[in-house]
Amino acid sequence: MARDLLNEDNTGLSLTSKIFNILREDILNGKYAEGEKLGEAKLAEELGVSRTPVREALKQLELDGIVENKPNRGVIVLGISKQDIEDIYTIRTAIEGIAAKWAVERITEKELEELKEAYELMEFYTFKNDIEKFAELNTKFHEIIYKATKSRYLEQVLKDFQYYMKKTRIKSLHVQGRMNDSLKEHKIILDAFLNKDPDTAQRALTNHVENSRKNVEDNVKA
């Protein structure tokens, strides 16, 4: 799988970026446990690459705060802690409503159609009880909104949060009734966009994040 990703020439990513994405995914999915050491030589051998792009990828991961290069120990996995998750929800609560309001005011017709299509597919996979697919479309729904803000800074910050919350989101959606509740919340958000109502969109998206946060706090262990 990793080698397939590295050999894809159509991604437009550098080798270092591809390695970064692979390692980040592995860390967030729990392949590498918190406190585990990531050795350059071993990773390079596993991925079939030289040590230089691995070293650069590890530096990027350190800048992202999910590994730490400790003196005399090497690169150690930090992962995403319970405190990180709480912090992410606090920040999302503060800024996702702003994103929704800006997006309603700036969204294109094409993006609006994409948002509607994402919701309809979420509805379909709720009926199918396919949590993995629902979670994937949930991410897409939010990222369409982020893109529609036409603010590259806000978009990047919120997209990163979506990525780091992926594992937690899937656990959250396994809680009985949460997927249906989430679908209803997304319908309110979509209706606000279709009605071009920025204030309702802002309240609806903030409420959705708060409900997600409460579900995680009550039911999901980090």
Alpha-carbon span 110 to 147, nearest angstrom = 12
What DSSP assignment string belongs to the chain? -HHHHHH-SSS---HHHHHHHHHHHHHHTTSS-TT-EE-HHHHHHHHTS-HHHHHHHHHHHHHHTSEEEETTTEEEE----HHHHHHHHHHHHHHHHHHHHHHHHH--HHHHHHHHHHHHHHHHHHHTT-HHHHHHHHHHHHHHHHHHTT-HHHHHHHHHHHHHTHHHHHHHHTSTTHHHHHHHHHHHHHHHHHTT-HHHHHHHHHHHHHHHHHHHHHH---
In this structure, what token pair is assigned to residue 125? 């996979």
Residue extents of the structural domains in the chain:
2-77, 82-219
6 close to 48: Cβ distance less than 8 angstroms: yes
pLDDT value of position 221: 72
pLDDT value for 2? 47
Instruction: Tell me the Cα Rg of the chain.
Output: 19
Per-residue pLDDT of the chain (222 residues; tens, 9 = 90+): 444 556 655 456 889 999 998 999 888 877 888 889 999 999 999 999 999 999 999 999 999 888 999 988 899 998 788 888 999 999 999 999 999 999 999 999 999 999 999 999 999 999 999 999 999 999 999 999 999 999 999 999 999 898 888 888 888 999 999 999 999 999 999 999 999 999 999 999 999 999 999 999 888 875
The one-letter amino acid code at 57 reads: A
CATH class assigned to 82-219: mainly alpha
Domain 2-77, architecture per CATH: Orthogonal Bundle (1.10)
Spatial CA neighbour of 50 closest among 16, 98, 93:
16
pLDDT of residue 111: 98
CB atoms within 10 A of CB 207: 15
